[in-house]
Amino acid sequence: MPAQEVQQFTRRLIALFLLAFAVRAAHVVSIGNAPFARLLIGDARSYDRWAREIAAGDWIGHQTFYQAPLYPYTLAAVYKVAGADPMRVRWVQAALGALACVALAVAGRRWLDDRAGLVAGALLALYPPAIFFDGLIQKASLDNFLMCSLLAVLGAYARRRSTRLLVPAGAILGLFALTRENALVFLAILVCWLPFFLNDRPVREIAASVLLLIAGVAIVLLPVGIRNRVVGGEFLVTTSQAGPNFYIGNGEQATGRYVPIVPGREMPEFERTDATAVAERAAGHSLTPGQVSSFWWSRSFAAIRAHPGQWATLLGKKALLTWNRAELPDTEALEVYRDYSFVLRVLGTMLGFGILCALGAAGMVVAWSRTPRPTLLYPMLFGFSAAVALFYVFARYRFPMVPILALFGACALVASWDGWRAGLRKPAAAPVSAALLAGAVALLPIVPGRGSRGLAYENLGIGFSDAGDAKRSAEFFRTAIDLEPREPGPHYNLAVALMRLGETEQAATELETTLRLDPANAPAHDNLGTLLAEHGDLADAEKHFREAYRSDPSSPLTMVNLGNAALSQGRAEEAVDWYRRALAAQPDYLDARLNLLQALERLGRTEDAATEARAVLRADPANAEAREALGRLGAQNR
């Protein structure tokens, strides 16, 4: 390419970067005024905690990776340079997102042509979900940058057939696998594509090319495997999360979206411990992380073999969720951020996943007739979408599909522009028909945005509750209830917030509403029973505790509540039985042991009561209640 054209394209890339950064900067400024601007919830809180540990010097860690590690390490590097402030991270990711748009433009130039590349970069620059993800403390922003970089390097290789580009392509793919493990599907696709692409070359050259690509991946993943072997005892080149994740998407309880292995424990900090605890309980002995993953793979395949038709239906549902227009939220929803960001509100009226799919479908038809044909982009797009649907679906999980769709969409837009300028009609008929067909599927509102907003506002309420701000959390729970009044979760969470604020009558009303919507909600029964007991209604309180136990007989809290109800009504022997059950389920439950101490003392069993007091003091030497009881019991025995 002549130097003048290179300079012109470079200037346009700079303009593209400035455009992409400007819209992201405007978005960051807008959400900077939101009440949740510095609130970290869900995975963001988990990544922040991990990044702080790394930044404090724990660069190696102490156990096998369970979550993908690259984003927390990147976050730690940002913390070391700029400080641990979520808003500063948003600014860094705004720049990273703008660089991703430039990388996509370069990819488009290599796979298609200069104009298509710049249009693809502009589509990504103005694409609302991309702006949204760049503003989250989430790894989707890094995913996007790595995907666009991979497309750029692979495009250069396809254009030049320079084997030295295969090592960096493999290295980028390895890094990508450390943010999103299913990106390894691209390795399988590339290994299959290279012999096809190099079919006119000697077998030795084809084999060398495949080995160079694998070597690039190994440069990144082998050190991770060695690190996991040293600190965790197992050679795992990424993480040990694949088995549990596959089960969440394909097990008996699977819906196509995230369902925790243990109901009610959706938080990231429970994922590893719950997956391990359930697997070890089933196995009857302790398991290594790799063995835990294998357990969940086996359980998933057993569920699939037992109900193959049901699984096929589920897989079809997940494919529709992957390709429908709705942005399925994880913890934070685009719809909520749009309430605070004028950038998302304005651009969201013009561009979304459904429109991008329609443009992309048209572009696939146009690109197929090009010479050279960008053959690799097709299996990369559909292969990755299949990898998403095989597990479970969130908007950020399918986000790596967007750069490829943008390339195809840009191809359609450029062809349409050229056709319009030339006064042509018929050549555009096939792409337009394909776009209409794709739009008919992609524009289906499978998941209502109202429900997504309600869930996201509830998550924000939980985040403020965890941060100790009950008043603010109650405001967000009320918003969630306004959006989804028949969902029991926001009513229950609002009740808990109101209890913390001392507004017990309103809390009782919300708990009653929760139980009308979900009669088997054990925590709601427990809390309503507690409120009734505080008001002296012991008989009704005990009824709710028994309903809670019927719904969840494994809860130590419910057992303690039943013990308290029995003790308050003079049934000390029954209370002792409930407290001992609670301690059998949770031996370190000090409140249960203290209550057991009181019940034993009431029964006159002073030696047994003293034994429990000493057990409390072994666990908590400063416990004044146990010391006082031990002194009192000693005086009684003299």
Rg of the chain (C-alpha set)? 29
Cβ(369)–Cβ(438) below 8 Å:
no
Helix (H, G, I), strand (E, B) or coil at 453: helix
Quote the CA–CA distance of 383 and 402 in Å, as a whole number.
Answer: 13
Give the pLDDT confidence score for residue 341 in this predicted structure.
93
CB atoms within 10 A of CB 617: 15
**pLDDT of 638 higher than 50:** no
Q: What angle do CA 368, 371, 376 make, to 5 degrees?
A: 55
Burial 235-255 (b: 16+ CB within 10 A, else e): ebbbbbbbbbbbbbbbbeebe
Cβ(237)–Cβ(222) below 8 Å:
yes
Lowest-pLDDT choice from 124-138, 195-209, 285-299, 603-617 = 603-617
> Regarding predicted confidence, which is higher, 201 or 424?
201
pTM of the model: 0.87
Which DSSP category does 426 fall into? Answer: G
> Regarding predicted confidence, which is higher, 592 or 146?
146
pLDDT tens readout for residues 21-37:
999 999 999 999 899 88
Q: Which CATH class is domain 554-638?
A: mainly alpha
| Amino acid at site 155 | G
pLDDT tens readout for residues 155-187:
999 999 999 999 999 999 999 999 999 999 999
The answer for residues whose C-beta is within 8 angstroms of residue 431's C-beta and 6 or more apart is 361, 362, 363, 365, 366, 412, 415, 416
Give the pLDDT confidence score for residue 187 in this predicted structure.
97
Per-residue pLDDT, averaged over 376-405, amounts to 94
Give the pLDDT confidence score for residue 434 in this predicted structure.
57
**pLDDT of 449 higher than 60:** no
Give the pLDDT confidence score for residue 259 in this predicted structure.
83
**pLDDT of 426 higher than 60:** no
Give the pLDDT confidence score for residue 184 in this predicted structure.
95
Cβ(319)–Cβ(389) below 8 Å:
yes
- Which pLDDT band, with edges at 50, 70 and 90, does 90 fall under? very high
Cβ(243)–Cβ(391) below 8 Å:
no
Encoded tokens for 154: 């692979």
**pLDDT of 427 higher than 80:** no
**pLDDT of 440 higher than 70:** no
**pLDDT of 509 higher than 90:** yes
Arithmetic mean of pLDDT over the chain: 89
Per-residue pLDDT, averaged over 28-56, amounts to 91
pLDDT > 70 in the chain, percent: 93
Lowest-pLDDT choice from 309-313, 396-400, 621-625 = 621-625
Per-residue pLDDT, averaged over 374-385, amounts to 96
Per-residue pLDDT, averaged over 123-140, amounts to 96
**pLDDT of 466 higher than 70:** yes
The residues spanned by each domain of the chain are 3-239+325-442, 554-638
Do you find a cis peptide bond into 372, omega within 30 degrees of 0? yes
Quote the CA–CA distance of 106 and 134 in Å, as a whole number.
Answer: 20
Cβ(443)–Cβ(460) below 8 Å:
no
Give the pLDDT confidence score for residue 435 in this predicted structure.
58
| 3-state DSSP helix/strand/coil % of the chain, to nearest 5 | 75, 0, 25
CB atoms within 10 A of CB 102: 22
Give the pLDDT confidence score for residue 452 in this predicted structure.
73
**pLDDT of 194 higher than 70:** yes
Quote the CA–CA distance of 292 and 244 in Å, as a whole number.
Answer: 8
Q: What angle do CA 509, 529, 554 make, to 5 degrees?
A: 120
Give the pLDDT confidence score for residue 332 in this predicted structure.
87
| H-assigned helices in 324-400 | 334-338, 342-348, 353-368, 377-390, 395-398
Lowest-pLDDT choice from 142-146, 163-167, 550-554 = 550-554
| H-assigned helices in 468-588 | 470-483, 488-500, 504-517, 522-534, 538-551, 556-568, 572-585
Comparing C-alpha atoms, which of 88, 74, 209, 202 is closest to residue 145?
74
